[in-house]
Amino acid sequence: MRVFTKYKQFTVIAALLFIHGITLLSQELPKGAIQVFPESIQWVNAPASLPPGAMISVLEGNPQQEGIFTMRVKFPPFYLLPAHTHPKDERVTVLEGAVYVGFGNAIDTANAQKFTVGSYYLNPVNEAHFVFTGEEGVIFQVTGLGPWGLEYIDEKK
């Protein structure tokens, strides 16, 4: 009889935990909450404003509209983004690999700073800079205020 009672208690506790787990999984997020998991990120080719080979995934907002946005950017190995500026500050966190960033109108790889996983940097508004990768490529996250874009230095007149 005692064994049956303990088995019954175990069954009731297991059922309650299962129901609680289902309830947690089915809860709706509060308004405005965003949760993105690595396996759900959808990469697409970057817009034509970037050299071929780059990929992006917008996690929040729309970089082309007013307001905050967050996107992930993936550059392959030996990628070069020529000197350019942005109309607003660009906040970058490196998630995988490494990226090199240098300031100025001309590419000067000797004076570029290497940023590895966990590094953060801010490129100020209208400050000319160039970006390149080495043999490992990079994935970084950009957060900023839209509308966002880039203008290559040789396009400025």
Q: Residue 9: what pLDDT? A: 61
pLDDT at 27 over 90: no
Average per-residue pLDDT for the chain = 88
- Cα(41)–Cα(59) distance, integer angstroms: 8
Residues 38-86: pLDDT tens digits?
Answer: 999 999 999 999 999 999 999 999 999 999 999 999 999 999 999 999 9
User: What are the angstrom distances between the C-alpha of 130 and each of 40, 45, 64, 86, 109?
Assistant: 30, 20, 21, 11, 9
- Cα(49)–Cα(59) distance, integer angstroms: 19
Topology classification of domain 38-155: Jelly Rolls (2.60.120)
Residues 90-120: pLDDT tens digits?
Answer: 999 999 999 999 999 999 999 999 999 999 9
Domain residue ranges of the chain, discontinuous segments joined by +:
38-155
Beta bridge partners of 98: 116
